[in-house]
Amino acid sequence: MRPREMPHPLCCIALDCPGLGARSRAPDDPPPDPGGAEGPSSTVAVAGVLCKWTNIGKGWRHRWFSLGNGVLSYSRIRRRDPPPVPEGDGVRLIGSATAMFAPVTAASSSRPVSGCGCRQPQKPVRVVHLKISSFRESKTDDRRFYIVSPTKTLHLRTYSSIDRVAWIQALILATKGISINRGVSFMQNDVLISTEKLRDRMQAEGLDDTVIKDCEQIMRLEFAEYHRQLKLRYEEHLTSIGTFHQQLEEVDVEDAATSEGQLQLPKYDYSSSGREKFNEYSTTESSDDVEKQELDELSDEEEVSFFDTNECFGDPIVTCAAEVTSSNVSNRISGFNTNHCDTKIVDVELQPDYPNMLLHIPRRKKLPEPIEKEKGVSLWSMIKDNVGKDLTRVCLPVYFNEPLSSLQKCFEDLEYSDLLDQAYEYGKKGNSLMRILNVAAFAVSGYSSCDGRPCKPFNPLLGETYEADYPEKGIRFFAEKVSHHPMLIACHCEGRGWKFWGDSNLKSKFWGQSIQVDPVGVLTLEFDDGEIFQWSKVTTTIYNLILGKVYCNHHGTMNIRGNQQYSCKLKFKEQSLLDRNPRQVQGLVEDAKGAKVATLVGKWDDSMSCSFGDEVLKSKSSFLTENSTLLWARNKPPPDPTRYNLTSFAIMLNEITSDLKGKLPPTDSRLRPDQRYLENGEYEKANSEKLRLERRQRMSRKLQENGWKPRWFRRDSEDGTFRYTGGYWEAREQMKWDDCLDIFGEMV
């Protein structure tokens, strides 16, 4: 399927939905198990007739339901056609009424039918993916129950209360089957161990048969215990990362509690408590409320969208955004934590003597107190009605934003710019190895600010700019949104002895519950002595996007290519369920001949260390040794954490400091009204301004088509990247902004 360009409302991301319709595999889905962990025979296969509420006009109607492979499908019943029965060795038919319709001779309650082949399902067959559904019994009618999927609630009735129990059990089993079978085949109880070799050996020793049997039994018990432990770990892990089912419950509760106008900030559960259940099944108070409220709404004609979220976001896309830089100098060294007490700190005498270091601009340490009471809204409640539709048309309210634009977020990558200052100094003193190691640590450090940030940055308007002048860090950063379709941000930063620039285009794939972002574009770092390093960012996956606590992980290989002696390969580990050491980054520095000269190890949200010489050969590169050298450690979190979980550095970025007042161009992100309102906690105003600016933004494509050109960047004719054309800081000196459009003002 060819990617379609489309802006993504969740940020400036365009979505590339791979292979939808063909039910392509999500990245967090395990690969298909050829051995059949998900094959028909490994899942519960159940079928039968149930009454389904259609609408007031038609009331309850018989439908043929079949359950297999974690999917419940149903279709109308025509007596002349036999109903579809799931494929499998043993299909269990539930319900006395089933006998009237079933293709087999007698189908008494819960009677197994063996060897049923799968007939062509009748059309239309609707499908409910149980992994994203929950089940409830009616409290007032012992034959009724509900299947609540993200798109609809199915109201069902069995012929007897016993049948209801059978159906609910089957549904729960099917759901658990999915959770446990998916990709982790060792979780199945059919794992066998053979004691044959042990027995042969003991027999060869002439041991007594009872002793042999005892030994075999001991071995089996030990293995069972091992298996149990493994399963526990796996479940713990699932528990901690949260599952759809638990989250659905949370959302249901939230939905019930959130009536219009009573909005609250998105609630992300930061604790792992209460996540023990894999699927939810309840007889809550709300069940019958749901019933009353929804019975009237449901109509068979309407029920067109029983999709898994994976399938909902139709066409693939491409989008863009950019990334880069930032600063914050001092507590790098003081901020390392006790995990690293064995490690040495790189010598820090290398502080160059810059006059600007004495310049001190007072910067804020916290965000302003919100004017209005915090508001909140569950993302799910915003988009649930749009599942199955084009999510890109859904405009999210401001509650899901943090008060920073993507341009400002780019600057966050430069929080640890002092690593580049050190790299410069090392190189100047002839230590090229320490130079590349510091560059590598810098490339990783930029990711640390993503940790625990649940909100999306504002998508800048075409022509929006952001400047950051940090004389105390010796850096000046500037960024501009240079294209809207595709979304592109270009940036340029100058520091003590180095320049850093790049543009980036985010290619995204939406998988329903997660988004995978692949930044396309090259970042370049050039030292004043001519040494150049280039790299590209790795893939970022944002999980629990729709339900639960949003978090990201970065994975893939980053190649830092140098034009001189060394180059470095950094591997950002893929997240896996049983991983005890997530977020790990491992690296290797090679010289021009390919010899390994140093290794790096650490975590993108914490610190990076390196080892040299013998240590490189000794260590398996994933462990710190006593001779490791600490290169970078993340700064401490702010004393007053913000609602958006911003770092101390990020807190400063949207401030209009005294030296900036009246000097900024009308395009600067700090002047964007909705973002300012959000920062001040004026949510209603923020929302209406956001809507106004989004309307305005829709004209950008036209603007671009009509030959709009970025003001401060031009595409390099050689490599196609956007390069700063210069002149911004000079214009700022004179406050010469005549040719800058009033992009945040009213349209004329």
Ligand X SMILES: CC(C)CCC[C@@H](C)[C@H]1CC[C@H]2[C@@H]3CC=C4C[C@@H](O)CC[C@]4(C)[C@H]3CC[C@]12C
Nearer to ligand X, 537 or 732 (CB): 537
Among 332, 456, 670, 711, binds ligand X (CB under 6 A): 456
Residue 540 as a binder of ligand X (CB under 6 A): the answer is: yes
What would you measure as the largest C-alpha separation in the chain, in angstroms?
Answer: 99
β-strands 551-562, 629-633: how paired?
unpaired
317-356 residues near ligand X, rule: CB under 6 A? 321, 323
Q: How far is the CB of 523 from ligand X (least distance, A)?
A: 10
Q: From start to end of 229-335, where are the E strands?
A: 281-282, 317-318
Residues 515 and 321: their CA atoms lie apart, in Å, by 14
Residues 181 and 190: their CA atoms lie apart, in Å, by 11
In sequence order, the β-bridge partners of residue 495 are: 498
Among 97, 329, 441, 550, binds ligand X (CB under 6 A): 550
Contact status, residue 265 vs residue 399, Cβ threshold 8 Å: yes
490-509 residues near ligand X, rule: CB under 6 A? 506
Residue 589 as a binder of ligand X (CB under 6 A): the answer is: no
Q: How far is the CB of 538 from ligand X (least distance, A)?
A: 7
Contact string (CB under 6 A) for ligand X, positions 391-420, x = contact: ---------x--------x-----------
Residue 453 as a binder of ligand X (CB under 6 A): the answer is: yes
Number of residues that make up the chain: 748
Nearer to ligand X, 323 or 679 (CB): 323
Nearer to ligand X, 97 or 263 (CB): 263
Q: How far is the CB of 696 from ligand X (least distance, A)?
A: 22
- Give the DSSP letter of residue 259: -
Nearer to ligand X, 167 or 677 (CB): 677
Nearer to ligand X, 121 or 582 (CB): 582
280-319 residues near ligand X, rule: CB under 6 A? none
Residue 542 as a binder of ligand X (CB under 6 A): the answer is: yes
Stretch binding ligand X (CB under 6 A), from 33-41, 160-168, 449-457, 697-705: 449-457
Q: How far is the CB of 583 from ligand X (least distance, A)?
A: 13
Stretch binding ligand X (CB under 6 A), from 89-97, 287-295, 301-309, 535-543: 535-543
11-50 residues near ligand X, rule: CB under 6 A? 11
Stretch binding ligand X (CB under 6 A), from 57-65, 447-455, 522-530, 671-679: 447-455
Contact status, residue 112 vs residue 91, Cβ threshold 8 Å: yes
Closest-CA residue to 155 (of 278, 303, 44):
303
Please write down the long-range contacts of 688-692, taking CB distance under 8 Å and 24 or more positions apart. Answer: 690/397, 690/398, 690/401, 691/395
Q: What b/e sequence results for 264-285 when a residue is b if at least 16 CB atoms lie within 10 Å of its CB, and e otherwise?
A: ebbebeeeeeebeebbbbeebe
What HEC string does 35-83 produce?
A: CCCCCHHHCCCEEEEEEEEEECCCEEEEEEEEEECCEEEEEECCCCCCC
Residue 379 as a binder of ligand X (CB under 6 A): the answer is: yes
- CB count within 10 Å of CB 559 equals 11
Residues 656 and 409: their CA atoms lie apart, in Å, by 16
What HEC string does 462-530 produce?
A: CCCEEEEEECCCCEEEEEEEEECCCCEEEEEEEECCEEEEEEEEEEEEECCCCEEEEEECCEEEEECCC
Nearer to ligand X, 75 or 536 (CB): 536
Among 476, 507, 537, 555, binds ligand X (CB under 6 A): 537
Nearer to ligand X, 145 or 510 (CB): 510
Residues that contact ligand X, how many (by CB under 6 A): 22
Residue 683 as a binder of ligand X (CB under 6 A): the answer is: no
Nearer to ligand X, 409 or 583 (CB): 409
Among 154, 382, 436, 552, binds ligand X (CB under 6 A): 552
Closest-CA residue to 276 (of 307, 224, 236, 247):
236
Stretch binding ligand X (CB under 6 A), from 121-129, 455-463, 611-619, 669-677: 455-463
In sequence order, the β-bridge partners of residue 516 are: 509, 541
- Give the DSSP letter of residue 407: H
Residues 658 and 668: their CA atoms lie apart, in Å, by 15
Q: How far is the CB of 588 from ligand X (least distance, A)?
A: 22
Residue 481 as a binder of ligand X (CB under 6 A): the answer is: no
486 upstream amide cis, omega within 30 of 0: yes
246-285 residues near ligand X, rule: CB under 6 A? none
Nearer to ligand X, 88 or 602 (CB): 602
Residue 585 as a binder of ligand X (CB under 6 A): the answer is: no
Stretch binding ligand X (CB under 6 A), from 122-130, 235-243, 294-302, 537-545: 537-545
Stretch binding ligand X (CB under 6 A), from 80-88, 113-121, 190-198, 538-546: 538-546
Among 10, 387, 652, 743, binds ligand X (CB under 6 A): 10
Closest-CA residue to 409 (of 507, 500, 477, 332):
477
Residues in the site for ligand X, rule: CB under 6 A? Answer: 10-11, 321, 323, 379, 400, 409, 450, 453-457, 506, 517, 519, 537, 540, 542, 545, 550, 552
